[in-house]
Amino acid sequence: MTDLYPMLIQPRYVERIWGGHSLAERLGKPAPRDQPIGESWEVYEENGVVNGVHAGRTIGDLRAEMGRTLTGHVSPTDLFPLLIKLIDAQDWLSVQVHPDDRFAQEHEGQPYGKTECWYVIDTAPGATLTYGFTRDSSPDEYVELVAAGRLEEILRPLPVRPGDVVYIPAGTVHAIGAGIVVYELQQTSDITYRIYDWNRRDASGHTRALHVDNARQVLDYHRCTRGTVRPLHKPGAHRTMVIAGPYFCLEVIEAAAARALSTDESPVAVTALDQALVVHAGVSGEPVTLAPYSSLLIPAAAGTYLLEPAAPRAQTARALVAYVPISSAATRADLIGRGFADTDVDVFLAQFAPAADLGQAPGARAKGAARP
C-alpha cells in the first residue's frame, strides 16, 4: 500500500531567549540564523509531512484520516501522543515543573500532563542540569524558599555528558543548563509551571510569567536520588533500550540492513543521529533517506521497518526510535523475549515509576493515616 511509508516531517523552529545557533551549526539543520533558536519541534501534531502522497498534510490531519492505520493501539481521536524536540540551551532554561495527567485534566482542561525525557546530544565541558531536590522538602518550605529567593539551596545539580539519558516524571523540578543540546521526547502537552527564570528580561524588557503556586500543588517533594538512566544493553546487540515508561519508549538503534524491526502496533518516530539513514517501511517499501538530526514517522500498520546506514561504510549510523508501549507488561515481555534476565528488566523498568504523592510533603499521608 502506497500510503504506508516513512513520512519525513517538516520541523518547526522556535525562537527562545535562551536559544542559540547550535541546531544549524552543530546539527546541520536549516534553522534560521537571524534569531536565537531554542527549539526545533521535530514530531508534533501540527507538523506537516514533506514526501509522498501525504505531503502537505499535518500529523493531526492524518490521525483523523488514517485512524488506527497511523496510530495502531493508540486512540486516533486524541492528540498525537508523541512530541519530539531538539533543544539548544545556550543559557539556562527556567526552573520548572509539569503536572501529571490527573492535575492537567482537573485544573487545566487538557488531556495530558507532561512526563518527558532527554537524550543528551552535546554539552559544553562541565555542563549540568537541575534535577529534583537535594533533600526532602514540603509545600510550606518551598513557598518560604521561593519568597526569600533561596530555592536554589535545595535544587540538585546533575552533571551530564553526550549520550546520557534523563527521565523526568511529572512533578520533578528541573532545568536544562547552559551549553546543552538535547533530543527531548515528551507527552503532547504544553503545560509548564515556571518557578524561577533567573531574573531574565527579553529584548523588549519583559520578564516571563511565573507559576509558583501551580507548581506548589504538583511538585514531588521527596529527595531525588535518581541519576542519569542506566540503559538496558547487551554487548554486540544493535538495540539499546533507554526509556520504557508508561507514555513512551525510546531506543538507540544501530542501523543494520536485513534487520527488520516491528512497529509493535505503535506509530514509530525515527530521528537520525550523526549519520544519514535509509529507512524502509514494510519489507518492500520505497526507501527514504533521513538526514542527520531529521525525523520521520512510520505508520503503525506498516508492521515492520528497516534502518540502513546511507553511506555503506558508515558503521556507526544510529537512530533514536520512539514509540508508545501497549502496556508495561507488554514491554516487560518484549525485553525478556530479547534475552534479558527478568531481574535486569525489573531493575531497568523501576527507573520509570511515576513520582508518588505529588504536591505533598513526604510522609504527610502516612502520618495522617496513623492518627486514630
Task: HSE, CB side, 13 Å, CA atoms: give it for residue 340.
Answer: 24
For residues 232 and 66, is the Cβ–Cβ distance under 8 A? no
Hunting for cell 493501539 — which residue is that?
A: 73
Closest Cα to residue 174, out of 198, 157, 199?
Answer: 157
Dist. CA 296–CA 137, nearest whole Å: 42
Q: How distant is the alpha carbon of residue 126 from its chain centre?
A: 23
Told to judge if 194 belongs to the known catalytic residues of this protein, a careful annotator would answer yes
Distances (CA, A) of 244 to 110, 141, 270, 357, 363: 24, 33, 16, 22, 28
Q: Mapping DSSP to helix (H, G, I), strand (E, B) and coil, where does residue 343 land?
A: helix
Backbone angles phi, psi at 87, to 5 degrees: -125, 130
- Dihedral sign, Cα of residue 49, residue 247, residue 320, residue 339: negative
∠ Cα 125 131 137 (to 5°): 140
Catalytic member of 156, 194, 216, 318: 194
Distances (CA, A) of 194 to 112, 136, 197: 18, 20, 7
Sort residue 266 into left (φ over 0), alpha (ψ -120 to 50) or beta. beta
Dist. CA 87–CA 44, nearest whole Å: 14
Q: Which residues are catalytic?
A: 194
